[in-house]
Amino acid sequence: MPVALYALAAGAFGIGTTEFVIMGLLLQVAGDLHVGLAAAGLLISGYALGVFVGAPLLTAATGRLPRKTVLLGLMAIFTLGNLACALAPNYGVLMAARVLTSLAHGTFFGVGSVVATGLVAADRRASAISLMFTGLTLATLLGVPAGTWLGHLAGWRATFWAVAAIGVVALVVIAVLVPAERDRQEATPLRAELQAIAQPAVMLGLATTVLGFGGVFTVFTYVQPLLTRVSGFVDSAVSPLLLVLGVGLIVGNLLGGRLADRRLATALVGSLLALAAVLAVTGVALHARLPAMLAMALFGIAAFATVAPLQLWVLHKAAGAPNLASSLNIGAFNLGNALGAWLGGVVIEHGPGLAAVPYAGALLTLAGAAVAVAGLRAARPAPVRLAACER
């Protein structure tokens, strides 16, 4: 794989860390800024919605610029946003800084996916995307625990200072390693891009991402109480179990890329069905400790095995608007995150309870698989009908 892909992975690592690290710092943020825990939790929702809304807008605004220039500008926004988080004097400024930082997220992964596929041969495009997304999985495995530990040791602001430093490093390596001569964009009219996005196969692909990946965050958002209250682990055991899950994420991410390179349609539907099955099994396995440990590994593998197929499918079907389609799909991932977290909360507060959360996630992912099948049918060319005189 070209070394430039590792530069993209470095940027993905920083962005993934800043998105998820605040989950482990909510109590510190709420106490320091004198807000409730629910208000602190909105800092996560605000970020996800910022990605969903900002990705297509920023991608359209930068559509005529060279892709390397766009990536460098996004990492600059990312770095400034984290500096603003570290210096935020109150809750309102912190929320605004989080939204500012989120603007870099969707467009970076969207444009980065297009750059990654342009660096390799056609039969290795999904693997290139999965390698870039390895930065995101490493953020879950290493960046988030390290950032949480630093925040508990030196205060939550120290974590954002550290993430801003990661942004500077990523900006430098992208500037040095990503080639400029291969990232020129053709000026595509916005109307043509919107027409490419409006195709049924593309719209169904975006819906597949929202529903299919939403099942992941139905469980991932509540993984700590699931492990402690359902499985019976002590709090100190959660971090090692998250490490197991993180290793599974890396394996699944690379596996999904390999499978999508071979047979994209099969990998798309198969990975979603496998994820739904693993989520259902997790609901049973969580009631005993050893099966719960194995379930965490399988959950990690199945969760990120879906990423490369979901991303590459939309890229393939929206060939006339790769940047916009890719960025919209990253927004769809984040909308799925928000949907899954909401669904898990509803099941806990108004449904059968915490232990039923994995089953709800399985049903949501199954809905995504059904939409994927509909998308595959929509993408098939219409049969040629012969006139009666030609028969």
- Give the model confidence (pLDDT) of 223-269 as tens digits: 878 888 899 998 778 778 878 888 888 899 889 988 988 889 999 99
Phi, psi of 35 (to 5 degrees): -125, 165
pLDDT, average across residues 58-84: 87
Cα–Cα distance measured from residue 177 to residue 78, given in angstroms and rounded to the nearest whole number = 19
Report the CATH number of the 188-380 domain: 1.20.1250.20
Provide the pLDDT confidence category of residue 391 given band limits of 50, 70 and 90: very low
Cα–Cα distance measured from residue 139 to residue 135, given in angstroms and rounded to the nearest whole number = 6
Q: For residue 318, what are its two tokens?
A: 């929206």
SS3 188: coil
Cα–Cα distance measured from residue 289 to residue 282, given in angstroms and rounded to the nearest whole number = 11
SS3 173: helix
Alpha helices (runs of H) in 90-141, residue ranges in sequence order: 91-118, 125-138
Q: For residue 350, what are its two tokens?
A: 């108004």
User: What's the pLDDT at 47?
Assistant: 85
Q: Angle 365-368-369 (CA atoms, 0-180°, nearest 5)?
A: 95
- pLDDT at 388 > cutoff 70: no
This prediction has a pTM of 0.77
User: What's the pLDDT at 38?
Assistant: 60
**Residue at token pair 């309870």:** 353
Cβ neighbours for 383, distance < 8 A, ≥ 6 positions apart: none
320-367 confidence digits (pLDDT tens):
777 678 778 888 888 898 788 888 888 888 889 889 999 999 999 999
Cα–Cα distance measured from residue 40 to residue 201, given in angstroms and rounded to the nearest whole number = 38
Cα–Cα distance measured from residue 73 to residue 379, given in angstroms and rounded to the nearest whole number = 35
169-182 confidence digits (pLDDT tens):
989 988 888 887 55
Give the CA distances from residue 379 to residues 185, 200, 269, 375, in Å, rounded to whole numbers and listed in that order.
26, 8, 14, 6
Decide: 218 and 343 in contact? Cβ < 8 Å.
yes
39-49 confidence digits (pLDDT tens):
776 787 788 88
Decide: 119 and 7 in contact? Cβ < 8 Å.
no
Decide: 309 and 261 in contact? Cβ < 8 Å.
no
For residue 53, which amino acid is it? V
* Cβ atoms within 10 Å of 239's Cβ, excluding its own: 13
Higher pLDDT, 214 or 383: 214
Q: Which CATH architecture has domain 1-187?
A: Up-down Bundle (1.20)
Cβ neighbours for 192, distance < 8 A, ≥ 6 positions apart: 320, 321
Decide: 357 and 222 in contact? Cβ < 8 Å.
yes
CATH 1.20.1250.20 residue ranges in the chain?
Answer: 1-187, 188-380
Cα–Cα distance measured from residue 283 to residue 358, given in angstroms and rounded to the nearest whole number = 5
Cα–Cα distance measured from residue 8 to residue 116, given in angstroms and rounded to the nearest whole number = 8
* Closest by Cα among 222, 251, 253 to 238: 222
Tally helices (H) and strands (E) across the chain: 17, 0
Average pLDDT of the chain is: 84
Decide: 264 and 213 in contact? Cβ < 8 Å.
no
**Residue at token pair 């698989």:** 369
